[in-house]
A and B are shown apart, each in its own frame.
Chain A
Amino acid sequence: MGVEKKPVNLWVKRILVTITVIALLGVGVIWYIFSEKFTDTVDVTADYTVNALDLIHEFEKDDAAANKKYAEKIVVVNGRVTEIEAADTTVNIKMTDTTSGSYVIFAFQQQHLAEAKSLQEGDSVGIKGSCSGGAYSKILETEFITFKRAALNK
């Protein structure tokens, strides 16, 4: 008399396979999300293209409205470099309204730091970056608009 084999429950098998697939997909999605990096700004389409002085005046006129419009948007700013300022081991580029002292400042993206260092005061350039918005500085008593992940707009 042979040993009676217990039939494998097909449904249990299916459930185990489904759970494994879902778990693997979950791990994949989490891995993708957390290993994702910001795209090179050069490859991102700009939401707006503006002149530096126009941008400054827009923020000076209505800070709240301008922040709503530009914050976290990719913007190309065309203007003249008025200052190259040391920022730790690198430099930031500034475009200043010499009448009011208000300014736009660009912190360059890691892979574009050399571009910032290559610029000179007086250069007319287009810089593309992620606008972080503007604020009124109580220290300097001027409006200032900051950008991160900037690159030369070529």
Chain B
Amino acid sequence: MKKTMLLITVLACALASVAQKKTTTSGTINFDATTPIDALPKAENKTVIAAVDTKKGTVAFEVVMKNFAFTNPRIQEHFNGPRWLDTEKFPTATFNGNITNLSAINFKKDGTYEADVAGDLTIHGVTKPVTTKGTVVVTGKTVTTNAEFDIKLADYNVDGPQIGAGKIAKEPKITVAAIMQ
């Protein structure tokens, strides 16, 4: 009997732990480095792994860099190449952070909440702190998050003649969206 109770308790704890962690493997990140003289450096990655722990407030993303899809083959090649993101050497980008105003978000009540997020973004093998504001939409058991921020390519040791020539924005806009369950 004691063993059964213990098993039930362990199972209940495990289920609770799963329930508080919302994930998706189809998060979306849009990368927009367009400039007035070049509209091509723009891509979308729709297979981003994202997770949010609704109790602890932790937020995490994992991105396979090669899965950013450009419309133009040449730009895709440049993006992956050693003079830009060098995706052969640095195949993934990650974000690990926290919702710093967790008390302002009620994950048990449907609604739209403003979230302050702070954490470490690793791109091209370089980790830098990032803070941004985002939106959290709670609909039943689904949590949808959206955020938008700029990054300075130079901060992540990404440079090259095209950036210098103004064909690629020095501070691309990053838009993140994830529907997690």
Binding site for B on A (CB under 8 A): 33-34, 36-38, 67, 71-72, 85-88, 90-92, 94, 103, 105, 107, 132-135, 137-140, 144, 146-149
Contacts and interface: CB of A to CB of B under 8 A. Distances in A.
Contacts of A105: 25-26, 47
Interface string B42-72: 0001110111000000001010101111011
B170 to A, nearest CB: 20
B60 A132 contact: no
A103 B72 CA distance: 28
B98 interface: no
Contacts of B45: 107
17 contacts: A33-B74, A34-B40, A37-B72, A38-B71, A38-B72, A88-B179, A90-B46, A94-B25, A105-B47, A132-B47, A138-B94, A139-B60, A139-B62, A146-B47, A146-B64, A147-B67, A148-B67
Contact of B46 (A34, A36, A87, A139): A87
Contact of B49 (A36, A134, A144, A149): A144
Nearest to A133: B66
A97 to B, nearest CB: 14
Contacts, number: 93
A66 B58 CA distance: 32
B73 A36 contact: yes
B64 A140 contact: no
A133 B40 CA distance: 24
A149 B26 contact: no
B106 interface: no
Given A33-B74, A140-B49, A85 B24 contact: yes
B40 to A, nearest CB: 6
B153 interface: no
A149 B47 contact: no
Contact of A34 (B27, B50, B68, B74): B74
Interface in B152-171: none
B74 A132 contact: no
B73 A38 contact: yes
B123 interface: no
Contacts of A37: 71-73
Contacts of B26: 85-87, 91-92, 105, 107
Contacts of A103: 25
Contacts of A134: 64
Contacts of B131: none
